[in-house]
Amino acid sequence: MDFLRLPENFLIGTATSAIQIEGGDISSNWHKWCDYNRIKDGSHCSNANDHWNRYKDDLKLLKGMNVNTYRLGIEWSRIEPKEGMFDKEAIAHYRDEILTLKKMKIKPLITLHHFSHPLWVENKGDWKNPEIVNYYLRYIEFIVSHLGDLVNDWITFNEPCVYLLAGYLIGIWPPGKKEIKSFFMGMKNIITAHIKGYKKIHFIRRKYNFSKETKVGFSKHIRYFESNKNNIPNKMLTRLIDYLFHDLIMEGMNKGKFKFPIGSGGYPLDKGKYYDFLAINYYSRDILEFNIRKKPFIIRKTVDKFKQNDLGWEIYPEGLFKICKKYYSKYKKDIYITENGICDNSDKKRFNLYLII
């Protein structure tokens, strides 16, 4: 049997979102959303997996899996449950969790915003309000000042475009809006927050003379888009979807370029490189067909159920290679695969991936 030999410095691990696993946090915007019974399966983030109380046992499981890196989230609503009031016990808890990881020789990668934030942020207008950028920077300063001696690698935002689509355009996540104007306003403010946050993280770690190289980026959910029909209208519309879902965020957060419709293509915060690595979340390919006679006029081609996960997404591992090649060629930075896998509740399709590959 042939074995794949990975380089000694290759990192392999797992990732979680704080709101999805910790439980017990009543100050989050998602807690209110769950109270309104807006979760399809009736579950509630107040329970989750009780990781907040069981984190030492959970980290032992990671050690048993022989991972050497772990991407974990910091929950802003735990750190600052009320505006301007920072919880010392919460930051001490996260510090102990990270120290435990380091003792296990597991490298932490911290996510600062993973779809959730304090309810008071939402009550102030959430990401439509430009002032939220300043609140977010204050939160970053507190976190990095208290944890920056332990952590070198940081992710400012997880999947900002997915968050904005679900929360501001489709309305299935908090704040539950269906406003295209709010979608683009939120995008502009999140891009601004990332750029300023990138600078602040580097500044704080230099200020306190924290050791080792600082690396900052953001996690982008990237789909592999293809046109179902080889004609000009379909190709143009597929390119438009790619532009709106990928290019606006990538060019804005990585280079500071505010492209239409969030800007005129200039660099209001200065042209630069606001990324030290590319963090890619990949799950699927979408084969798109456009037909103005049908509603909706954007149709995703259905594939065989054997090649679908539980969300109905195509299982297409080749896409991971293709998008890595594309974006490395464009941005020339190390790539971290910060999410990847298959939604398979019955655990029957996971093994069959070998057959598909």
The predicted-structure confidence for 177-186, as pLDDT tens digits, reads as follows 999 999 999 9
The per-residue pLDDT for range 12-34, each reduced to its tens digit, is 999 999 999 999 999 999 999 99
Percent of all residues in the chain with a pLDDT value above 70, rounded to a whole number: 96
Q: Specify the pLDDT at position 353.
A: 52
Q: Specify the pLDDT at position 133.
A: 98
Mean pLDDT of the chain: 93
Q: Which of 82, 188, 196, 69 is nearest to 144 (CA)?
A: 196
Residue 188 half-sphere exposure toward CB, CA atoms < 13 A: 21
Q: What is the C-alpha separation between 50 and 280, in angstroms, rounded? A: 27
Q: Specify the pLDDT at position 356.
A: 45
211 pLDDT band (50/70/90 cuts)? confident
**Residue type for position 41:** D
Q: Two tokens at 156?
A: 């400012």
Q: Which residues on adjacent β-strands are paired with residue 286?
A: 225
CATH number of 13-283+315-340: 3.20.20.80
Long-range contacts of range 260-263, CB-CB < 8 Å, 24 or more positions apart? Answer: 261/184, 262/184, 262/187, 262/188, 262/191, 263/188
Q: Specify the pLDDT at position 204.
A: 97
Tell me what the mean pLDDT of segment 187-212 comes to: 96
351: DSSP letter: T
Query: Would you say the C-alpha torsion 338, 33, 246, 315 has a positive or negative sign?
Result: positive
Q: Where are the alpha helices (DSSP H) in 148-228?
A: 160-164, 180-207
The phi and psi torsions of 48 (rounded to 5 degrees) equal 50, -135
The per-residue pLDDT for range 37-66, each reduced to its tens digit, is 888 888 899 989 999 999 999 999 999 999
Tell me what the mean pLDDT of segment 102-128 comes to: 97
